[in-house]
Amino acid sequence: MNTPAHLIFGAAAFGRPEMRWTLGAALAGGLLPDLSLYLMVGWHLLVVGTPAQVVFDELYFSDSWQTIFAIDNSLILWGALLGVALWRSLPVLLAFAGAGLLHIALDLPLHAGDGRPHLWPLSDWVFDSPFSYWDSLYGAGWIGPLELAVSAFLVVVLWRRVRDWSWRVLFAVLLLAEAGTNNIWRLVF
């Protein structure tokens, strides 16, 4: 899924406006599994000047990048974090870990040929899904609009939950970002 959708889904599932900090924690948990990708891609494209084709065709699949992706997309590590949150009754950590796990669970069936080793450190196995959120050869033509529609619905739900306009504006911006990234993939691929 596109990262803005992950943030929206995580906030809707685990953010509780009546429980201080859980919305922010859910947003952070929804972002963290993708953050290393943004940082590494941004560094190479914007600072080093590495061509995009090298970044996405070579570096993305390199052992060093895949090791980082294995760590920040590990169901084992995120599950342990969720276990601690439940054991210690920590609602902010629960929102963070729950959103991170939701991110990974939603990514698992939507990465055809570019999945991540979600069972690290127990295994380097990568599920090669028959579906992709971005590649039209693997269903992105219907997955993308569905993802956008569910994101829009969840933003309406979030707007009804929160009264603070700063949160509402943030969710609207995330929805606009989701619409933009959704359409970018269709134009590029």
pLDDT tens-digit series, residues 33-46:
999 999 999 999 99
pLDDT tens, position by position, 99-138: 999 999 999 999 999 999 999 999 999 999 999 998 889 9
Query: Structure tokens of 88?
Result: 């210690």
Q: What would the mean pLDDT of 6-11 be, rounded to a whole number?
A: 98
pLDDT > 60? residue 12: yes
Composition of the chain by helix, strand, coil, percent to 5: 75, 0, 25
Close Cβ partners of 20 (under 8 Å, ≥ 6 residues apart):
none
39, burial (CB in 10 Å: exposed 0-12, middle 13-18, buried 19+)? exposed
pLDDT > 60? residue 168: yes
Query: pLDDT value at position 183?
Result: 63
Query: pLDDT value at position 149?
Result: 97
Radius of gyration of the chain measured on its C-alpha atoms: 17
| Distance from C-alpha of 57 to C-alpha of 26, rounded to nearest angstrom | 31
CB–CB of 82/98 below 8 Å? yes
pLDDT tens, position by position, 79-102: 999 999 999 999 999 999 999 999
| Distance from C-alpha of 12 to C-alpha of 8, rounded to nearest angstrom | 6
Query: Structure tokens of 170?
Result: 């943030």
Q: Where are the beta strands (DSSP E) in 76-116?
A: none
Q: Which residues of 159-177 are buried (b: 16+ CB within 10 A; e: fewer)?
A: eebbeeeebbebbeebbeb
pLDDT > 80? residue 139: yes
Query: pLDDT value at position 20?
Result: 87
